[in-house]
A and B are shown apart, each in its own frame.
Chain A
Amino acid sequence: MGVRNFWREYRRYKIGLIGLAFLAFFVGMAVFAPLIAPAEAYYRWSDITYWEEYPKGVPPEWINFFSAKKSATQFVITRPKFVEKNITFTYNYQFDVPPSDIIIKVSTSATDEERQLSIHVSRPDGKQLDNIVRMMHKGEKTRIIFTSNDVRDWLIAWAREYETDENLEKILGREAFVNPLLILFSKTQPGILLGTAENLKGQYNVIVQLSPPTATTAKAVFTGSVFGLLGTDTLGRDLLVGIVWGSRLALLIGLLTAVLSETVGMVYGVVSAYKGGVVDEIMQRIIETIASLPFLPILIILSYTMQPTVWNLALLMVIFFWVGPVKTVRSMALQLKEQPYVEAAKALGASGWRIIARHITPQILPYFFASVALSVPGAILTEAGISFLMGAAGVSEPTWGRILHDAQRFSATINGMWWWVLSPGLLISLAGLTFVLLGSALDRILNPKLRR
């Protein structure tokens, strides 16, 4: 048909162009993944230590556009003021919802002495919190986390005097559910322990005192109550990383499976049709048997025994999907077989394979390309389904299906973490849709019967 003509035809179909736009989007995402999200985050997806300083289970930042109450975003201070034995972190709090946590990390020069470390906070309303934590510590690194039990208990004790007896009764025995950050960033009014007191905006100074003072570096992370473009999951993992890198696997698996299964199916169908007779019958029976196998259970159980890597899954899917195109290809090849030019070629002494390769197959190629595109969504969906059921099973890297598996495992739906469920599934659907659009456009061009 000629590439130029083909492109002119293709341009007529809006859905094809939309499909191309989507395809460009996904390919761009896959190719530029290392620029959008660091590779290390991808490979260390299952490593909890990497995600230490990320907020756990928070929605994306852009919801601040849509709510009256602005949630605190992630704020990191790496260069506090060092004055004698005080390390001061200044935080100007102007949000309506406080940070989800405060993590303070201090490194000192190595020594065997025990040193004292304590934390003080001065609030905008003039109230001071002294000696929030007092610990003796040895060695190089120390970490204070505000949502830990010690700090929380300390904050509760500090806030008691501002709280009504009635409210104190309410939290009795349920101290573990009190949010320490809400205590810290609220006015000293009744309701402070329940989180219903008013918000206190202004400058907060978090002062770390180390004696003797030999701190080399100190860092404070005010983890956001919102984070990033796509939010985080319960383990603090930035979903943008998983989504963007997951596109690589999705596209790869989809295309690989589609191309392989369609190719095998096409060759099988053509050969079966050409040979005819008994060979054809036998080949068709084999097809029927494979097509009747319950592919999902077998796929699942085979994934149990094999490592659920991209390649294994693609291979398994090909084993089931190749039977798909055979029927159609065979009927096309049967018709083509009767064409006069085939007869002529045979009379000239062309071998069977030559006829298949030179005369029959090229006629089937248009159908082939359209059906490759149309079978990609099936592959992507199947891989997503299997990953959803099986989870990571020893492989660290995330795919969209695995992210959803974790979402289900950590009850994202019941806990209202919509961002965790929405983005992976949406992208799975869009990726599938892309190839449906592409395939439909191709189909309409190359299949003259459907031409408008």
Chain B
Amino acid sequence: MGYGSYLLFRSANAVLVLIAVVLVSSIIFNASVEKEMVATIEESISIRIASPIYRGLNSTERQELMNLWREQEYKRHGLDQPYWIRVLIQSRDVITLNLGEATIMRSPTGASEVLQIILEALPWTIMLFTTATIIQILLGLYLGLKAAQGVGGLLDRSVSVFAMLSNSLPMWWFGMLMIFALSYGLNLFPSSGKVSIPPPSDPFLYVIDVLWHMALPLITVVFVSFGAWTYITRNIVVGTLQEDFVMAARAKGMPERKVIYGHVLRSASPPIVTMSIFSLLGSLGGAIITESVFSWPGMGRLYWIALQSGDVKVLLGLTFITTFLYLVATVAVDLVYGFLDPRVKVGLTGRKR
């Protein structure tokens, strides 16, 4: 298989998976939400009918009124159609990129289209998590490289220990600790939200305010995650440094810096680049729990609100987008890997034996 047809094959595969995921999610979300919705509607109807306005009605009139309300509510929440029809229609809509209107939720600016709601949350997630991912990649690469160069030394061992420790920390708990230490304790940063209330009117000050609010979540995310990067980089580089071509390059008299950055890094780049792509695209999903701890209005928190409100349209829209990004990452990673590591390409073309 040539390069192009492989790309096509993987993309078609990804589309199939995407459709399957939307379908499964639709099934699950609709089933779970339906029960809650029915219960809530019944409750609100019984509260409504208990009001003194309707005291004069006899029982048949009451029943009629309640049925009328029930119909209206069902229609409003989209429950008037049978389950499977809903599941299929919603799936079809989402896949054709018609994300529709949210049943309950509204964006901060009051918009009700799902796409709009998501797009208003996305920039905040990018600001926080993508920045954090970039920082942790750079930090991890640098430290991992330095640790690998001094194998077995103090930096190297500390890196391994730190990586294991920080990997066991729940990110959201660490966020709570950060709030304690830096917000409650030292009063350096605000504990939640994206901007102070009331926000500063001057645009420059507004930006500073947002950055100030972003500091704590950023520190939290980076601190918990960069350890893993450092550890992985270190392992890859250590492995690569043992290769013969490194010894050859050094024997040739090449300056160490060139050996590292010219040869070692290039050889180590396939896994690092692929992980970077995954991390960057994955960061766009935000983190549900951490964003909730900091009340940061990103995609993660949006997900949480949608789950609590039972707004299936928004849930499906979010699922679609995050899965789409994940699959794009998968396909991109495959291609980039083949591009960076020629050995793999040979494997690709030699696939059909």
Question: Which of A293, A304, A421, A440 makes the CB contact (< 8 A) with B176?
Answer: A421
Does B327 lie within 8 Å of A292, measured CB to CB? Answer: yes
Chain B's closest residue to A435 (CB) is: B168
Residues in B neighbouring A422, C-beta threshold 8 A: 177
Quick check: is B24 within 8 A (CB to CB) of the other chain? yes
Interface SS of chain A: helix, strand, loop or mixed? helix
Stretch at the interface among A91-99, A105-113, A377-385: A377-385
Q: Contact between B32 and A304 (Cβ–Cβ < 8 Å)?
A: yes
Chain A residues with Cβ below 8 Å from B168 are 377, 381, 429-430, 432-433, 436
A389 at the interface (CB under 8 A from B): yes
Provide the residues of chain A in CB contact with B191, threshold 8 Å: 413-414
Nearest residue, chain B, Cβ from A415: B184
- Residue A301 interfacial (CB < 8 Å): yes
Report whether B288 and A297 are in contact in the complex, using a CB–CB cutoff of 8 Å.
yes
* Size category of the binding interface on chain A: 35 or more
| List of A residues within 8 angstroms of B164 by Cβ | 15, 433, 436-437, 440
Given A285-B13, A432-B168, A293:B177 Cβ within 8 A:
no
Q: Which residues of A contact B304 (CB under 8 A)?
A: 300, 389
Which residues of B lie under 8 Å from residue A424 when comparing CB positions?
Answer: 173
**Is B186 in the interface zone, CB < 8 Å from A?**
no
Interface size of B by Cβ–Cβ distance < 8 Å? 46
CB-based contact B170/A425 at 8 Å? yes
| Interchain CB contact under 8 A, B184 and A416 | yes
Contacts of B29 in A (CB 8 A): 301
Closest B residue to A433 by CB, please name it.
B168
A292 touches B307 (CB 8 A): no
Q: In the complex, how many angstroms separate the beta carbon of B171 from the nearest chain A beta carbon?
A: 9
Given A289-B20, A292-B327, A305-B288 contact (CB < 8 Å): no
What is the bound-complex CA distance between A433 and B25, given in angstroms? Answer: 33
Closest to B239 in A: A449
Say yes or no: A293 contacts B32, CB within 8 Å: no
Question: Do B319 and A388 touch (CB < 8 A)?
Answer: no
Binary contact readout B300-341 vs A (1 if CB under 8 angstroms, 0 otherwise): 000110010000000100110011001100000000000000
Whether A289 lies near B172 (C-beta < 8 A) is no
Interface residues of B in 156-180 (CB under 8 A from A): 164-165, 167-170, 172-174, 176-177, 179-180
Q: Does A394 contact B (CB under 8 A)?
A: no
Interface pair A421/B173, CB less than 8 Å apart: yes
A15 nearest in chain B by CB position: B164
Q: Which 7 residue pairs are nearest across A and B when measured between Cβ atoms?
A: A432-B168, A425-B173, A433-B168, A289-B20, A413-B179, A305-B32, A301-B32
